[in-house]
């Protein structure tokens, strides 16, 4: 569920020996819990890939850290809190599929927008979803505007049974404000990303042909043939349980295969198998394997939820638990249409991510279905009223969500979305579309972009534990290591006061220097700010961040007297420590 038109953190990277060299002469039995600098260091083994990550790890590669240009800084002389980075155990290798985003059909042809393309290339989300949310349920990839299939009705039923214009969308659109299928593929190729495609499930419900499910599955299979191996990951439907979705309710007088008026998880699961069978046969013809995902709910339905929601997971898993390659969930973390404050927004990153992981696991166990990869193919916040979505707090939240997804071993994630509409700041878009009311230039990055950029820039390839000694400090810590030997620590200071932190290490000896980037809200604001400053450099306009983000110098200091850093109020720091 999302709107259709109409952060802060500290990241610190520290260094260890490459985990790929396990078994060498450097490994010493029993020395994996060295607490002091100068102790012996062992190379931890990589754990088995978790079932909840699975094939999303297939394209994992080791990362090498290159020391950036820097400005010498004086670290704090003393620290109030200690964060311990434990490089003795690898929790999981970092899935390369966690940093994705969503395109949509109303954000331009993309390849015609060099500024947008440049930012996407630098950010490198890895995966970009298409055609975007609810519109996938009324999307026909293989035709041009106005040329709908003969069995796609002129009117469909909404949730209340009213007859409405579905507003179909088409893959062959040439409008400058829309996005064609060809240009989606072109955008991926030019920016070095790959896709995940959501096929039209609603058509299997509202189609008026003699066998609407077969017709819809055939349309999806033809897309797989046309795609010819460019896309590995496919979803069948988008939020098909939702009352807002085309196909949730159908006009049974137009239906010819005896489907019920309202969709159920059991029905979707049976239809899923028809789709998957057709799509896999098409993939076999191309000789290119694909992975197909089925939709689940991410949380226990409330007492007031629809009967569809209450039976969704059990019905889907009963019918399609063994047929699906992975399971899909969506979450917008904060309560819907609520003016959540900064602490509430930030707290949701930890609590909701853990709850999603636990509930999906429980659903699978209850249904007797083995663990499979989990993909959070839409996520953001629903907080409204204080321009939360376009604030630096949204950036802090984004970093925390990614850290929590690594901790909970989720396989894939794609944030909603690259661009949307202003709506007085209730805008999920990572980039502005340049609406006059926003005061931004077209394709100007919002604060969350900068948090995501610097987080990924300083993130290693293996997730390790990082612990804050005092749980009341209001600091979240996320550690990782680089294959080239460094360790990355991301620190998020949720407090409204500055805090000095000393970093302690297990199984790691710091080298000569450490480097860091500090991200803070604009003008000393500790609430919701539309600005972000990186190492003291901010935007030239009313919102966003520094134009020269890609060439900004890091801060740096000697690591010989220990690693200390100041965390400004409501901030994020990304820091890398040289290996010895």
DSSP calls for 218-259:
HHHHHHHHHHTTS--EEEE-SSTTSTTSTTSB--TTT-SS--
Mean pLDDT by 10 residues, the chain (580 residues): 40 36 30 48 95 98 97 96 97 98 98 98 98 96 96 97 97 97 98 98 98 98 98 98 98 98 98 98 97 98 98 98 98 97 98 98 98 98 98 98 98 98 97 97 98 98 97 96 96 97 96 97 89 96 97 97 97 95
Give the separation between CA 462 and CA 442, rounded to whole angstroms: 36
Q: Tell me the backbone φ, ψ of residue 319, rounded to 5 degrees.
A: -90, -40
Which candidate, 533, 447, 478, 522, places its Cα nearest to that of 11? 478
Distance CA 544, CA 538 (A): 8
CA-closest candidate to residue 487, choices 518, 517, 465? 465
Would you kindly state where each structural domain of the chain is located, as residue ranges?
Answer: 10-94+459-579, 100-443
Between CA 471 and CA 429, with CA 480 as vertex, the angle to 5 degrees is 85
CB 372 within 8 A of CB 327: yes
Name every residue whose Cβ is closer than 8 Å to that of residue 206 and which is 6 or more positions away in sequence: 152, 153, 156, 157, 166, 212, 246, 247, 250, 251, 254
CATH architecture of the domain covering 100-443: Alpha-Beta Barrel (3.20)
Supply the pLDDT for residue 523: 77
C-beta of residue 415 within 8 angstroms of C-beta of residue 380: yes
Topology agreement, domain 10-94+459-579 and domain 100-443 = no
- 292, containing H or E segment: strand 291-295
Q: What CATH number should be reported for the domain whose range is 10-94+459-579?
A: 2.60.40.1180
pLDDT in the model for residue 4: 42
How far apart are alpha carbons 350 and 200 in whole angstroms?
32
SS3 state of residue 377:
strand
Note the pLDDT of residue 39.
Answer: 72
User: What pTM, to 2 d.p., does this model score?
Assistant: 0.93
Cα–Cα distance for residue pair 238/198, rounded to 1 Å: 7
Nearest to 568 by CA among 530, 528, 509, 526: 526
Q: What gap in Å lies between CA 330 and CA 133, rounded to an integer?
A: 10
């Amino acid at each position: 569920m999302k709107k259709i038109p109409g952060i802060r953190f500290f990241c610190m990277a520290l260094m260890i020996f490459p985990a790929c060299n396990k078994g060498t002469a450097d490994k010493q039995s029993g020395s994996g819990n060295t607490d002091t600098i100068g102790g012996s260091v062992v190379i931890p083994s990589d754990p088995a890939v978790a079932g909840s990550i699975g094939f999303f790890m297939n394209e994992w590669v080791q990362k090498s850290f290159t020391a950036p240009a820097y400005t010498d800084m004086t670290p704090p002389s003393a620290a109030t809190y200690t964060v311990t980075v434990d490089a003795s155990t690898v929790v999981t290798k970092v899935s390369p599929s966690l940093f994705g985003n969503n395109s949509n059909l109303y954000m331009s042809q993309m390849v015609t927008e060099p500024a947008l393309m440049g930012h996407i290339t630098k950010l490198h989300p890895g995966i970009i979803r298409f055609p975007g949310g609810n519109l996938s349920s009324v999307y026909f990839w293989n035709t041009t505007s106005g040329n709908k299939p003969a069995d796609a009705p002129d009117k469909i039923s909404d949730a209340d049974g009213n007859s409405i214009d579905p507003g179909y969308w088409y893959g062959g659109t040439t409008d400058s404000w829309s996005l064609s299928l060809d240009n989606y593929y072109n955008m991926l190729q030019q920016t070095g990303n790959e896709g995940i495609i959501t096929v039209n499930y609603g058509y299997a419900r509202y189609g008026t042909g003699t066998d609407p499910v077969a017709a819809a599955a055939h349309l999806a299979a033809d897309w797989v043939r046309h795609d010819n191996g460019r896309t590995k990951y496919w979803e069948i439907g988008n939020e098909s349980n939702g009352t807002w979705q085309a196909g949730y309710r159908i006009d049974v007088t137009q239906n010819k295969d005896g489907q019920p008026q309202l969709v159920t998880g059991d029905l979707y699961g049976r239809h899923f198998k028809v789709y998957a069978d057709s799509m896999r046969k098409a993939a076999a013809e191309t000789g290119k394997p694909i992975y197909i995902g089925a939709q689940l709910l991410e949380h226990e339905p409330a007492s007031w939820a629809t009967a569809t929601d209450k039976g969704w997971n059990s019905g889907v898993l009963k019918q399609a638990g063994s047929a699906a390659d992975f399971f899909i969930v969506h979450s917008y973390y904060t309560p819907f249409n609520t003016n959540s404050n900064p602490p509430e927004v930030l707290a949701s990153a930890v609590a909701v991510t853990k709850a999603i992981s636990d509930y999906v696991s429980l659903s699978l166990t209850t249904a007797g279905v083995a663990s499979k990869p989990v993909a959070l193919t839409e996520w953001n916040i629903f907080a409204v009223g204080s321009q939360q979505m376009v604030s630096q707090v949204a950036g802090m939240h984004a970093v925390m969500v990614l850290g929590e997804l690594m901790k909970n071993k989720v396989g894939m994630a794609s944030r909603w979305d690259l661009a949307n509409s202003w709506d007085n700041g209730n805008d999920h878009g990572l980039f502005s579309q340049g609406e006059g009311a926003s005061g931004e230039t077209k394709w100007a990055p919002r604060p969350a972009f900068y948090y995501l950029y610097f987080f990924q820039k300083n993130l290693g390839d293996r997730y390790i534990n990082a612990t804050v000694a005092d749980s009341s400090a209001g600091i979240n810590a996320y550690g990782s290591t680089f294959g080239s030997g460094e360790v990355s620590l991301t620190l998020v200071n949720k407090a409204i006061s500055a805090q000095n932190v000393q970093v302690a290490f297990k199984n790691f000896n710091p080298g000569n220097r450490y480097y860091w980037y500090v991200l803070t809200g604009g003008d000393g604001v500790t609430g919701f700010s539309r600005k972000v400053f990186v190492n003291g450099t901010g935007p030239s306009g009313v919102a966003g961040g520094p134009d020269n983000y890609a060439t900004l110098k890091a801060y740096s200091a000697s690591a010989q007297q220990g690693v200390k850093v100041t965390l400004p109020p409501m901030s994020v720091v990304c820091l890398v420590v040289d290996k010895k």
